[in-house]
C-alpha cells in the first residue's frame, strides 16, 4: 500500500491542505498558554474526556454520552473501522472521496467496495442502493461536503441510504469535516435507533489543525463500544483542555466561517470567468479543471509564482483537476490573478497527457 501524503513546498501562499487560513484568536492563544501551566503533567488524563465531551455536546445540541473524541477525525475513523471493519467485512465508499476512508479500512483488513460518482461528482441513488443490497457493507461512508469535490449530498439521498444500510444491519458514517461551511448537517438525524454517526474536526473551523482533535456524534451504545477499541488515555490532558477552551470562542469562529463562505463565492465567481471547469462547493475549497491547459503544468506555473494548490491531476477519476483551499482575501486574489495570467498563455502540451477519466 501507498501511504497518505500531502507534499509540502516552501512557498509564500499555501492553499493545498484545506486548513484555516488564519490562527485562532490571540485571546485563545494566550489562554492556552495559561492552560499549559495548569495541567497536572504527572497524572494521566481523564480517560473519558468528560469536560470536552460536554462542551461538544452543548455545541451540537446532543448529550455528552453521544460524543466520542479522538486525535483528529482520522483516529475517529480508525476506531470505527476497528469496531465495525476487519476480515470478512465490507466498507463502501463512493469515489472520488476522502482517501483515508478506504485507506484505513484496508489497513484493518476490511474489503473495500468502490461505488462511482457521475460526471458532476454526484452519487447515483439507484446504483448506490444496489451496492448496499449486493455487498451488505458493515460501514458505508458518505463525505458531505465531499473531499476533494466540495459537493454536499442531498437530504433525500442520505435518507434513502440510511434505510438501505439499516436493512443490511450496517452503519452509515457521514463525514462532516467541512460541515460548518455547508447549509445542512446530519447531526440532527442521530438517535439511539438510527445506524448513523457524524464525524467532525477542529482542524478547519476552529483553526486547530496542529492540535489533531476530532469527534463523532452517534448513539450512546456505539460510543460505549468505541471505548473498547481505542487505546487507554489516548487523548492527552492539554488537548482536552484546549479543545474545550476553543468552543468558548464560538462567535469568533462563526464569523470566520461566514468570511470564508463569502470568499468561496467570490473566488468561484472569478474562476467561472476563466477557461475552466469549476464544481460548486459547499466546503472551504474549490475543485477545478483547466479546459485547454494541462493541470500539472498549471500547478507548476503556480508554484513558480510561489502559490501552492493541490495537484489532483493524476488521481483516479480526477484527471487534470486542481483543488484550491480558500485563504485570506489577499491570498485568494493573488491566486486568481496568477491563474488568469497562466491561462492567458498558450498551452504547452495537450491535456490528454494526464490520462483519461
Comparing C-alpha atoms, which of 299, 173, 163, 280 is closest to residue 226?
173
- Give the pLDDT score at 352: 46
User: Per-residue pLDDT for 355 more than 50?
Assistant: no
Confidence of residue 2 (pLDDT cuts 50, 70, 90): confident
- Give the pLDDT score at 123: 98
User: Per-residue pLDDT for 264 more than 60?
Assistant: yes
User: What domains does the chain contain, in order, with CATH numbers?
Assistant: 13-22+251-354 (3.90.1150.10), 26-248 (3.40.640.10)
- Give the pLDDT score at 335: 98
Each residue of 185-196: pLDDT tens digit? 999 999 999 999
User: What average pLDDT is seen over the chain?
Assistant: 95
- Give the pLDDT score at 5: 67
Residue with cell 476506531: 79
Q: Among residues of the chain, what percentage have pLDDT more than 70?
A: 97
Report, as an integer, the average pLDDT of 88-92. Answer: 98
Tell me the pTM: 0.94
DSSP-derived 3-state class of residue 60: helix
Distance in angstroms (rounded) separating the CA atoms of residues 201 and 184 = 16
Q: Which helix (H) or strand (E) segment is 96 a member of?
A: none
User: Per-residue pLDDT for 225 more than 90?
Assistant: yes
- Give the pLDDT score at 8: 77
Q: Note the maximum CA span of the chain.
A: 63
- Give the pLDDT score at 353: 42
| Residue 10 CB neighbours (<10 A) | 7
Each residue of 274-304: pLDDT tens digit? 999 999 999 999 999 999 999 999 999 999 9
Amino acid at each position: 500500500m501507498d501511504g497518505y501524503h500531502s507534499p509540502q513546498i516552501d512557498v509564500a501562499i499555501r492553499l493545498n491542505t484545506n486548513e484555516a487560513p488564519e490562527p485562532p484568536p490571540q485571546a485563545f492563544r494566550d489562554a492556552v498558554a495559561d492552560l499549559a501551566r495548569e495541567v497536572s503533567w504527572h497524572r494521566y488524563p481523564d480517560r473519558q474526556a468528560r469536560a470536552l465531551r460536554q462542551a461538544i455536546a452543548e455545541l451540537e445540541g446532543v448529550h455528552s454520552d453521544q460524543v466520542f473524541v479522538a486525535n483528529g477525525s482520522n483516529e475517529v475513523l480508525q476506531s470505527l473501522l476497528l469496531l465495525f471493519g476487519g476480515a470478512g467485512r465490507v466498507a463502501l465508499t463512493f469515489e472520488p472521496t476522502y482517501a483515508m476512508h478506504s485507506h484505513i479500512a484496508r489497513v484493518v483488513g476490511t474489503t473495500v467496495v468502490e461505488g462511482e460518482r457521475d460526471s458532476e461528482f454526484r452519487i447515483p441513488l439507484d446504483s448506490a442502493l444496489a451496492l448496499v443490497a449486493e455487498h451488505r457493507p458493515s460501514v458505508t461512508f458518505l463525505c458531505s461536503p465531499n473531499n476533494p469535490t466540495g459537493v454536499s449530498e442531498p437530504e433525500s439521498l442520505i435518507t434513502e441510504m440510511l434505510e438501505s444500510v439499516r436493512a443490511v444491519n450496517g452503519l452509515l458514517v457521514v463525514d462532516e469535516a467541512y460541515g460548518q461551511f455547508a447549509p445542512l448537517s446530519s447531526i440532527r438525524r442521530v438517535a439511539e435507533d438510527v445506524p448513523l454517526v457524524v464525524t467532525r474536526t477542529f482542524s478547519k473551523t476552529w483553526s486547530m489543525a496542529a492540535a489533531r482533535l476530532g469527534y463523532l456524534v452517534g448513539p450512546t451504545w456505539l460510543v460505549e463500544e468505541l471505548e473498547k477499541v481505542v487505546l487507554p488515555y489516548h487523548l492527552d490532558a492539554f488537548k482536552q483542555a484546549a479543545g474545550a477552551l476553543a468552543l468558548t470562542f464560538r462567535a469568533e469562529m462563526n464569523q470566520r466561517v461566514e468570511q470564508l463562505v463569502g470568499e468561496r463565492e467570490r473566488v468561484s465567481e472569478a474562476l467561472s470567468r476563466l477557461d475552466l471547469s469549476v464544481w460548486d462547493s459547499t466546503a472551504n475549497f474549490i475543485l477545478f479543471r483547466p479546459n485547454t491547459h494541462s493541470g500539472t503544468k498549471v500547478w507548476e506555473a503556480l508554484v513558480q509564482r510561489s502559490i501552492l494548490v493541490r495537484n489532483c491531476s493524476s488521481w483516479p477519476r480526477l484527471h487534470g483537476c486542481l483543488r484550491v483551499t480558500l485563504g485570506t482575501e489577499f491570498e485568494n486574489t493573488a491566486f486568481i490573478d496568477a491563474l488568469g495570467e497562466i491561462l492567458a498563455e498558450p498551452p504547452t502540451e495537450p491535456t490528454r497527457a494526464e490520462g483519461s477519466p
